Amino acid sequence: SYPCSPEVQSILKISQPQEPELMNANPSPPPSPSQQINLGPSSNPHAKPSDFHFLKVIGKGSFGKVLLARHKAEEQFYAVKVLQKKAILKKKEEKHIMSERNVLLKNVKHPFLVGLHFSFQTADKLYFVLDYINGGELFYHLQRERCFLEPRARFYAAEIASALGYLHSLNIVYRDLKPENILLDSQGHIVLTDFGLCKENIEHNGTTSTFCGTPE
């Protein structure tokens, strides 16, 4: 069995206590036309939350959380990003969310970038079904070990440069590089994640004027 934590139950508005099968079985109403957000080519109209066992929270962001989930039919683990539509629409962030989706779709072709498999939506939430990277954040490993030996640091730097170079070849600027957004996979390779601040269609020598980051 795959128990669902209380925090996950709260995010998905699941009543408790129930068995995992029942906790995931409550259908969410489909979005009305006014609530619909165009998910483009990533959209899977047949997907729904009850296709997954949602297990635990593995990340948090401005508009929602990332949950570890197991697809019932495929028996495959994914990281599912669950975003609150109300918060997105209130702050008029649809453009940034769709920009992130566009970048994620292109990432599937690169080993050092987290990729989007498909997306779907309910009346109040967006779901992005992403690669599950199980080695933890580079930030965690750096905190635990205090510093890396030079060969290891070079290894990470080379893979980060490869990932950024691929994005640059697609005229995409990645603007949120920090240890918290660098994951390690089961073999120790880096995987960049969180593309909400990416800027598309930036030509060579182009510039941007948007403030990115947290004011200090």
155-191: pLDDT as tens digits: 999 999 999 999 998 888 887 889 999 999 999 999 9
Residue 176 among the catalytic residues = yes
Task: Please report the domains of the chain, with CATH numbers, ordered by start residue.
Answer: 6-130 (3.30.200.20)
pLDDT above 50 for 44: yes
Tokens at residue 13, please? 């508005």
Instruction: List binding-site positions.
Output: 90
SS3 state at 183: strand
What one-letter code names the amino acid at 23? M
Cis link prior to 30 (omega < 30° from 0)? no
Which of 20-24, 72-76, 180-184 has the weakest average pLDDT? 20-24
Instruction: List binding-site positions for ATP.
Output: 90
Which of 25-29, 109-113, 170-174 has the weakest average pLDDT? 25-29
CB 129 within 8 A of CB 119: yes
CB 45 within 8 A of CB 19: no
CB 114 within 8 A of CB 130: yes
| Mean pLDDT over the full length of the chain | 80
| Catalytic member of 51, 124, 131, 176 | 176
Tokens at residue 116, please? 């989007």
Tens of pLDDT along 133-162?
A: 999 999 999 999 999 999 999 999 999 999
